Amino acid sequence: MERTTTRATFLKHSVTFTGLAFAGPALLALGNPRAARATTAGYGPLKPVGDGHLALPKGFTYKILRQEGDLMSDGHRVPGVPDGQAFFPHPDDPDLWRVVCNHELEDVGHAIGNRARAYDPVAQAGNTIYDIDPKTMTVVHSFVVSSGTDNNCSGGATPRRTWLTCEENVVGPPDGFTKKHGYVYEIPSQVSRQITPKPIRPMGRFVHEAAVTDPTTGIVYMTEDNGPGDGFYRYLPDDLNDLHAGGTLQMLSLKGKPRYDTRTGQTPGTTFDVAWVTIDDPDPKGAGADPAMVFHAGRQKGAAAFIALEGCTYANGKITFVASDGGDAKIGQVWRYDPDRERLTLLYEATDKHVLEGPDNVAISPRGATLLCEDGDFPQNFIRGLTAGGDIVDFALNLTPEQAEFAGAIYTPDGKWLIVHIQEPGITFAITGPWGSGLL
């Protein structure tokens, strides 16, 4: 099916502050084996700064915005496992920045916030809102905005000033939950209290990761992180302002290459012409028992297979997404889709764990470089950048004992700070420094 959603009027609802992230490069100088393979590009060696949670280039510093367990304005504690997030205008005070944030909690337990407003009172994931005063770079207000969902990993901002939060699981009543999971939910950013989220069933029940909206068309692009085979999807809504009103779910295929396998055997720089196949039943009855049902339906019609699709972002008219386990070395691929030209390009494939392993959350810096948050096993995780010239450079290193992944990287509206989490022990950092004109 051709790209049928019309352009033009959708931009007038656009979000003022987009969730862009910044990647800065650097050398590693901490005695880690990666040091011998580090690039000479970037801001210089990484060294421990502040209280030792992070290693950053010379001149860069950070402060902690909030941590798991901190008391929020609504009387609840900051949940753990923070993940995808985005900036939005504040509904009442133009001098504040508002952030909607995912929390990737899972398993049966107690919903965060007010359980009476939870979608599923025994599901532990959800979303918080926190407001930042840019003058002091402190959180001045925060609260639970949505709860009762499961394993909310990433998502994406919409031009309606809402956040699409994605469940990376298809659990349900057979697993001890009271509701079916595996959906996308639309979370308002301009509210002051907790809402009850509603699943958008036409967007599919599968292992969702990220969902980003093309602001010129209203089409939502989604990644799947089930493995060993995953799809890249798009949702064409019937009503641009109401995703619940129905629409068409499609899966990417490659013209002239039915059932193409992108997972191995690829050459960076290769460009493919794209087509789309329609998923007839986006919410099949058996999805709880078989998380790959939607994927297999697309494959039967000729859709392409990826592996471990993670972060996804929209910038400059293009969609960038990563396959965390893709490539011959199984340590990562970076893909870019051009919706205007209907083309897909493999930007980069990792071949050495010292250089890049397990890219997860992704964003585009103000200077056009691609930010990659690692979720690898090497054992340490970095924030790295893929430059326009195709080089991988280092910007930050996680020094916490947990060695957990970086997630949710977004660049502040004034361009001065990078906001990013370490999932365990659940810390949100604000990083600043001499960005200059840098490579990134």
Looking at residue 399, which CATH number applies to its domain?
2.120.10.30
Q: Which pLDDT score, from 0 to 100, does residue 437 have?
A: 67
Q: Which 3 state secondary structure label does DSSP give 297?
A: helix
What are the pLDDT digits (tens) for 214-254? 999 999 999 999 988 999 999 999 999 999 999 999 999 99
Report if residue 437 sits inside a domain. Answer: no
Report if residue 420 sits inside a domain. Answer: yes
Report if residue 302 sits inside a domain. Answer: yes
In 3D space, the residue among 22, 5, 137, 6 whose CA is nearest the CA of residue 418 turns out to be: 22
Report if residue 4 sits inside a domain. Answer: no
Count of domains for the chain: 1
Q: Which pLDDT score, from 0 to 100, does residue 18 have?
A: 37
Q: Is 252:274 a contact under the CB 8 Å cutoff?
A: yes
Strands 45-49 and 27-28: parallel
Report if residue 318 sits inside a domain. Answer: yes
Query: How far is 270 from 191, CA to CA, in rounded Å?
Result: 44
Measured CA to CA in angstroms, residue 379 lies from 153, 323, 420 at distances of: 22, 19, 20
Report if residue 439 sits inside a domain. Answer: no
Report if residue 438 sits inside a domain. Answer: no
Q: Which pLDDT score, from 0 to 100, does residue 43 have?
A: 84
Domain span at 360 = 17-432
Q: Which pLDDT score, from 0 to 100, does residue 388 have?
A: 83
Give the residues of the chain that fall short of pLDDT 70.
1-41, 437-440
Report if residue 245 sits inside a domain. Answer: yes
Q: Which pLDDT score, from 0 to 100, does residue 246 have?
A: 97
Tracing tokens 């250089």 back to the chain, one arrives at 355
Chain centre distance of CA 28: 26
Q: Is the peptide bond before 121 cis (omega within 30 degrees of 0)?
A: no
Global pTM reads 0.91
Measured CA to CA in angstroms, residue 76 lies from 18, 105, 106, 327 at distances of: 27, 16, 18, 43
